[in-house]
Amino acid sequence: MEIHLASMENITCWAFRKLCRGASDSYTGVLGLTNLIKRNNIWEEIDTYPIEGQRQWIQIATSKESECLKFLKKLEEEIKKYPEKNNVYGIQLNASCPSPNLIRIGQGPALIKRSVKVSHLIKELLNQNKYKVGIKLRLGLNETEVKQKKIFILFKELEKIAKENPNFTNVTIHFKHAQESSSSEYDYSLLNELASYNLPLIINGGIKNSEDIKKLIESISLENRKNIKGIMLGREALKNPNCFSEINQDLKGSQFVSRNFKNIKAEFNELCKQHMPKIVYLKTIKEKTNI
């Protein structure tokens, strides 16, 4: 079972990702391809310096195939220029961020109903053999789309890609539609049906510990459980960066040294000295965590 640290804008810099020991995978915050292609200063946020035992993903937002190509080219140039950043495992297409600015330009969850467009975007990203590709989805843009089961039409397209290309490695679902607030309850009633597709799923939303994971897995039929590749945690990591190690201990018996907040803070400060994130990251991390 993979345990992913979720993408969190202005939070998941290298120092924060490295702090989350025990996470199998981690993601940069969402980065718009239009900016990445045009502006060089954004590349600072692609801070994929080594993290032992953690696969690092870049999360991108786009709705244009041409941007995918340009991005892949620029990524290669960046890696050549900064070989110490050559630790990118994969690229995740964001089809989940509820920001009205993204939705207005047809990005993020506005893509869920556009299964053919998504399929084209993913194929463009797969047009290389170095990086894995994944997608992060919500259940729909709004309640109507959930009722219309738009996500299932998209799943059929994604199944075809997964069958053809093993570099398309996962589909993460944040189990809410894009108009639901962060405090609303999660609805996992579609989980078993979504897990019936031949797609490696990462389950995300409201997970805090191994008990939550066990309950979710038990709600899936034995036959469909094979498609569950992992789970993803976001806000719990803000409260407790030990949560990944704790889950590994509960599920796999792995030993770890628990850190108190004083240790965690000291470790974070040391990591920032190695690779200092932008000020906005430091401010957001201070605001949203006890670090």
Ligand X SMILES: Cc1cc2nc3c(=O)[nH]c(=O)nc-3n(C[C@H](O)[C@H](O)[C@H](O)COP(=O)(O)O)c2cc1C
Residues that bind ligand X (CB under 6 A): 6-9, 11, 29-30, 59, 94, 96-97, 136, 174, 204-207, 233-236, 288
Q: How far is 24 from 127, CA to CA, in rounded Å? A: 25
Q: Please, which residues bridge with residue 132 across strands?
A: 90
- Burial of 164 by CB count in 10 Å (0-12 exposed, 13-18 middle, 19+ buried)? exposed
Listed residue (79, 86, 103) closest to 30, CA to CA:
103
Query: Rounded distance, CA 85 to CA 82, Å?
Result: 6
Q: From CA 96, how far away is CA 109, in angstroms rounded? A: 5
Name the residue number minimizing CB distance to ligand X. Answer: 234
CB closer to ligand X out of 215 and 226:
215
What's the angle, vertex CA 269, arms to CA 268 and CA 274, rounded to 5? 95
- Cβ 94 to ligand X, closest distance in Å? 5
The one-character DSSP state at 220 is S
Q: What Cα–Cα distance (Å) separates residue 223 from each residue in 192, 195, 214, 218, 227?
A: 10, 9, 16, 12, 9
Report the C-alpha dihedral over residues 16, 231, 45, 77, rounded to 10 degrees: 130
Return the DSSP state at 21.
T
Beta bridge partner(s), residue 4:
25, 232
Q: Pairing relation of β-strands 132-140 and 168-177? A: parallel
Nearest to ligand X of 136, 177 (CB atom)? 136
Closer CB to ligand X, residue 39 or residue 80? Answer: 39
CB of 222 vs ligand X, minimal distance in Å: 26
CB closer to ligand X out of 181 and 255: 181
| 272 SS3 class | helix
Nearer of residues 132 and 136 to ligand X, judged by Cβ: 136
